């Protein structure tokens, strides 16, 4: 599992190599300090040789300073490697998410993806930094200190060989019980983030309906559930350090007892005993470090698993290869051949069933139908936001699966039901349609979308900065900007999904008049709830429960479609 993350060290691998090297040098120098201290006691002090004490003491100070320097370098290198790794991993995750189809995105909640890009990556970053230092330092220190302790006194070293299996046993139990709890905890984090995100997006609705208390209670419940999950997880891992310390102090007491008896019996020198105690301390500290690492690995394993879930997710929308690939959209005809589609895949309920429809190049098609009739689902199949489960969708006589996605989607412009604008200036938002568009083209598109007048009325005009999601614009203004952005793209196929629902009928009529004059040759599909928005279309498609109920002009459908006639009558009565 960890191997899948190694490529994200690219560009920072040198730091990941230098950090362990610096740690090794630090440990080697540190290991010899107790040995030199023992020599000072047994040779220098015992023999009253101050010259030896001073020379050896100076060597110890120099080695300690060098060890400190290598430790500082190791910390810097490990930090550089882990930060670079986190940056590459976040970029890799973000890039991979951009390749997801809508179906892939539906599988993960937005809040969960945000948590994985932030909290989970930070957890992986921290554990990498710890691994580059402590996971290298601990085994080297353990092996070298154990070797030196055995060299000093083989019999006394048996004590900590008894302690090691006890510590390993406890660590194994803790890891097996803690991992599932941390997985549950991270799901609670996703839940809480989802509530926060939903509340902030819909804050105006919350305030309009005076539901602040309800939202506060919902958040309080989620935060409480997260706290409880954290308690359960932490309750298991917090016993690690006390257990390690208990074993460590038991070892020290046993070594002091047996070592003191050896000194009294003359089989061990005082300096050797002090050096041995220092090495045992290093051994036990190394084992405690292992305990800390294991706890961190347990906590991060859940995060790494969630990251890899995203990286392993394969987009359901794949491009054709080789001879099947059609580089460009040749014309803008659209054909639906016996298509069936459902969001749950072949096993789920079908939203669309047995749809057959041919749209000629340059034709304007209106689509009307009740909520849930499949209007939006149908048009989302054209740029392959989803793939059909049955049948084919053809653009220019070619199956959409045989186009490169960039070419296909570059030929189609969609104005979605939900108007999405980005933080930045109005001009920057409009240039999403075409980054190279001239000012004249942008102004022409804004005039056609009836957006030019309100844009130039702002003090900063096209340089007016928009808040997140265009928060400082009205609903109608956002819709008109989104239409203008689509027109700037100069597409071969234009899809308007209920895109004038927030504008008045007069503005809607002017937009339709501009379309009839300026969109000749562009295949236009207009989804609307208002009959007035589609009645001038070349043909109107009436949808009902995922099927086509009728196709024809406004006059023809008044004669042949009871659904269309009923909608038309109800809207006329509403006007009266």
The per-residue pLDDT for range 86-131, each reduced to its tens digit, is: 999 999 999 998 888 777 777 777 778 888 888 889 988 988 888 8
Q: So what's the pLDDT on residue 378?
A: 92
**510 in any annotated domain:** no
CA of residue 14 relative to chain centroid, distance: 26
Of 396 and 208, the structure prediction assigns the larger pLDDT to: 396
User: What integer pLDDT is reported at residue 91 of this predicted model?
Assistant: 93
* Angle ∠(385,389,392) on CA atoms, nearest 5: 75
Average of per-residue pLDDT across 484-498:
90
Give me the chain's average pLDDT, please: 84
Domain span including residue 464? 417-490
Decide: 162 and 196 in contact? Cβ < 8 Å. no
CA distances from 395 to 411, 488, 494 (A): 10, 21, 13
Residue 162 has pLDDT above 90, yes or no: no
Query: Percentage of residues in the chain with pLDDT exceeding 70?
Result: 96
List pLDDT tens digits, range 315-329: 878 776 654 566 777
Instruction: Give the lowest-confidence range in 461-475, 476-490, 536-550.
Output: 461-475
Contact 310, 108 (CB under 8 A): yes
Cβ proximity of 509 and 450 under 8 Å: no
Q: How many domains does the chain have?
A: 3
On whether both 376 and 396 belong to a single domain, the answer is yes
Q: How far apart are the first and last CA of the chain?
A: 67
Q: For residue 87, how many other CB atoms are within 10 A of its CB?
A: 15
240 against 27, higher pLDDT: 27
Helices 270-312 & 121-152 angle (0-180, nearest 10): 150
Tokens of 114: 């945000």
Residues 528 and 465 in one domain: no
Residue 157 inside a domain? The answer is yes
Pick the more confident residue, 379 or 471.
Answer: 379
pLDDT confidence tier of residue 259, bands split at 50, 70 and 90: confident
Q: How many Cβ atoms sit within 10 Å of the Cβ of residue 299?
A: 21
Determine the length of the chain: 576
- pLDDT number for residue 338: 92
Last residue of a domain, one of 290, 312, 334: 312
Q: Supply the DSSP symbol for 6.
A: G
Give per-residue pLDDT as tens, 540-571: 999 998 899 999 999 989 888 888 888 888 87
Examine the domain organization and report whether 334 and 457 are in the same domain. no
- Would 278 be classed as within a structural domain? yes
Contact criterion met (CB below 8 Å) for 544 and 566: no
Instruction: Identify whether 120 is part of a domain.
Output: yes
Q: Pick the range with the lowest mean pLDDT from 197-201, 422-426, 495-499.
A: 197-201
Encoding tokens for residue 200? 């902030």
- What CATH number does residue 523 fall under? 3.40.50.300
Do 369 and 464 sit in the same domain of this protein? no
pLDDT for 323 equals 47
On whether both 22 and 64 belong to a single domain, the answer is: yes
User: How far is CA 343 from each of CA 229, 374, 418, rounded to the nearest angstrom?
Assistant: 33, 11, 19
Residues 224 and 92 both lie in one domain: yes
Is 35 part of any domain? Answer: yes
Mean pLDDT, residues 206-220: 82
Instruction: For residues 120 and 246, state if they share a domain.
Output: yes
Q: pLDDT tens digits for 267-296?
A: 888 888 888 888 888 887 787 777 677 777
Helix (H) or strand (E) holding 415: strand 412-415
User: Whose CA is closest to 381, among 483, 497, 482?
Assistant: 497
Kindly state the DSSP code that residue 299 receives in the 8-state scheme: H
How would you classify the pairing of strands 412-415 and 539-544?
A: unpaired
Indicate whether 387 and 437 sit together in one domain. no
| Residue 206: count of CB within 10 angstroms of its CB | 17
Domain boundary among 291, 312, 333: 312
Which is nearest to 97 in space by CA: 86, 87, 109, 85? Answer: 109
Residue 505: pLDDT band (50, 70, 90) is confident
Q: What percent of the chain has pLDDT over 90?
A: 22
Residues 6+ apart with CB under 8 A from 529: 368, 498, 501
- Residue 512 is assigned to a structural domain of this protein: no
User: In the prediction, which pLDDT does 233 show?
Assistant: 79
Whether the Cβ atoms of residue 403 and residue 317 lie closer than 8 Å to each other: no
Residues 485 and 550 in one domain: no
Question: What is the rounded CA–CA span in Å between residue 241 and residue 167?
Answer: 11
Neighbours of 371 (CB within 10 A): 6
In a domain, 318, yes or no: no
The pLDDT value recorded for residue 205 is: 74
CATH at residue 172: 1.20.1560.10
Residue 317 included in any domain? no
Highest-confidence segment of 80-89, 111-120, 145-154, 475-484: 80-89
Token pair for residue 194? 């989802």
**pLDDT band for position 174 (cuts 50, 70, 90):** confident
Asked if 442 and 378 sit in the same domain, the reply is: no
Q: Which residues pair with 337 in a beta bridge?
A: 392
Q: Are residues 35 and 124 in the same domain?
A: yes
Place 336 in a pLDDT band, splitting at 50, 70 and 90: very high
Binning pLDDT at 50, 70 and 90, where does residue 347 land? low
Q: Is the pLDDT of residue 388 over 50?
A: yes
DSSP 357: E
Q: Are residues 360 and 260 in the same domain?
A: no
User: Tokens at residue 472, please?
Assistant: 């400082």
């Amino acid at each position: 599992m960890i191997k899948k993350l190694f490529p994200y060290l690219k560009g920072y691998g040198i730091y990941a190599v230098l950090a362990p090297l610096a740690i090794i040098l630090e440990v080697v120098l540190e290991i010899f300090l107790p040995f030199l201290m023992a020599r000072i006691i047994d040779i220098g002090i015992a023999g009253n040789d101050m010259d030896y004490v001073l020379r050896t003491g100076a060597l110890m100070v120099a080695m300690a300073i060098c060890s400190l320097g290598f430790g500082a370098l190791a910390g810097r290198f490990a930090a550089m490697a882990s930060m670079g790794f986190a940056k590459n991993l976040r970029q890799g995750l973000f890039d991979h998410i951009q390749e997801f189809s809508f179906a892939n995105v539906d599988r993960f909640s937005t809040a969960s993806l945000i948590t994985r890009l932030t909290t989970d990556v930070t957890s992986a970053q921290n554990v990498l930094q710890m691994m580059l230092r402590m996971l290298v330092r601990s085994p080297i220190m353990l092996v070298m200190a154990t070797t030196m302790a055995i060299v000093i006194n083989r019999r006394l070293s048996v004590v900590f060989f008894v302690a090691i299996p006890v510590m390993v046993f406890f660590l194994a139990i803790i890891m097996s019980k803690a991992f599932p709890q941390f997985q549950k905890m991270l799901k609670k984090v996703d839940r809480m983030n989802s509530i926060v995100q939903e509340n902030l997006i819909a804050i105006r609705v919350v305030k309009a309906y005076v539901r602040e208390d309800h939202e506060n209670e919902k958040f309080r419940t989620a935060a409480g559930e997260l706290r409880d999950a954290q308690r359960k997880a932490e309750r298991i891992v917090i016993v690690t350090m006390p257990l390690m310390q208990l074993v460590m102090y038991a070892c020290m007491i046993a070594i002091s007892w047996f070592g003191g008896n050896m000194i009294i019996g003359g089989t061990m020198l005082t300096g050797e005993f002090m050096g041995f105690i220092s090495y045992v301390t290093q051994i036990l500290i190394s084992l405690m470090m292992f305990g800390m690492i294991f706890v961190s690995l347990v906590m991060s394993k859940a995060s790494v698993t969630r990251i890899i879930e995203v990286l392993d997710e394969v987009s359901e929308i794949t491009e054709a290869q080789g001879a099947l690939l059609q580089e460009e959209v040749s014309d803008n005809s659209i054909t639906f051949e016996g298509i069936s589609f459902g969001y749950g895949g072949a096993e789920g309920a079908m939203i669309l069933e047995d749809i057959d429809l041919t749209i000629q190049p340059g034709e304007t098609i209106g689509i009307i139908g009740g909520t849930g009739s499949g209007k939006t689902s149908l048009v989302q199949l054209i740029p392959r936001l989803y793939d059909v489960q049955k049948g084919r969708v053809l653009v220019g006589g070619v199956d959409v699966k045989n186009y490169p996605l960039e070419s296909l989607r570059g030929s189609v412009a969609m104005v979605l039901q939900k108007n999405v604008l980005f933080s930045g200036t109005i001009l920057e938002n409009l240039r999403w349609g075409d980054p190279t568009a001239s000012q004249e083209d942008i102004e022409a598109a804004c005039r056609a979308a009836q957006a030019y007048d309100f844009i130039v009325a702002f003090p900063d005009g096209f340089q007016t900065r928009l808040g997140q999601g265009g928060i400082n614009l009205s609903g109608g203004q956002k819709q008109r900007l989104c239409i203008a952005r689509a027109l700037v793209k100069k597409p071969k196929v234009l899809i308007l999904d209920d895109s004038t629902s927030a504008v008045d009928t007069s503005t809607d009529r002017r937009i339709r008049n501009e379309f009839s004059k300026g969109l000749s040759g562009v295949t236009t599909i207009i989804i609307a709830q208002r009959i007035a928005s589609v009645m001038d279309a070349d043909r109107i498609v009436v949808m009902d429960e995922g099927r086509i109920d009728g196709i024809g002009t406004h006059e023809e459908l008044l004669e042949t479609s009871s659904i269309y006639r009923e909608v038309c009558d109800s809207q006329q009565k509403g006007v009266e």
